[in-house]
Amino acid sequence: MLIQKLRLQRGWSQQQLADLSGLSVRTIQRIERGQGASVESLKSLASVFEIDFSELNQEPAMTDLTAPDTAAAPVASRELEEMLALQHVNRLKRFYRHLAQYALVMVLLAAVNLLTSPHRLWVVWPALGWGIGLLLQAVNTFELLPILGPDWEKRQVEKRLGRKLSS
């Protein structure tokens, strides 16, 4: 179902989606199984996913987003790709903003360090600690370690749902 795919793409649990949408976990489970959903529930979910309500309203007619015989499949797939691309661009933007903040603060700390106690370089410790955090963010943003990347996530989801992975 589209709801489940959107939720998993964001890495949210059913509980997290329920909290964000104001729906119960039971309602989320029911909708993901393909049972009917009220207009209010669909509007709430569309708001959380930041997509048009009409896309979710068409969902029961779309059994598989990748099915070639579904007329809406290319549109929904393209919109999902655009949404994922936008999320990646936002992660990049946050990383570069964080990198600029790091550089600015480290320059200021180095200046304070050299002016107050040039014989003891304490600025190395905050630079190292923050630098490690920045390095981990870079690994995540640029997907440098594919061990726990999207392919792994997809395999785990398919395994959990008891389906064979379509290669």
Q: What is the pLDDT of residue 63?
A: 41
Q: What is the pLDDT of residue 135?
A: 95
Distance from C-alpha of 42 to C-alpha of 1, rounded to nearest angstrom: 13
Q: What is the pLDDT of residue 35?
A: 84
Q: What is the pLDDT of residue 8?
A: 85
Distance from C-alpha of 160 to C-alpha of 167, rounded to nearest angstrom: 17
Q: What is the pLDDT of residue 69?
A: 46
| Residues in the chain with pLDDT values less than 70 | 1, 58-76, 148-150, 164-167
Q: What is the pLDDT of residue 104?
A: 98
Q: What is the pLDDT of residue 46?
A: 86
Q: What is the pLDDT of residue 59?
A: 43
* N-term to C-term CA, the chain: 19
**Structure-token pair, residue 68:** 């070639």
Taking CA atoms, 36 is separated from 50, 52, 70, 101, 142, in Å, by: 21, 18, 20, 48, 39
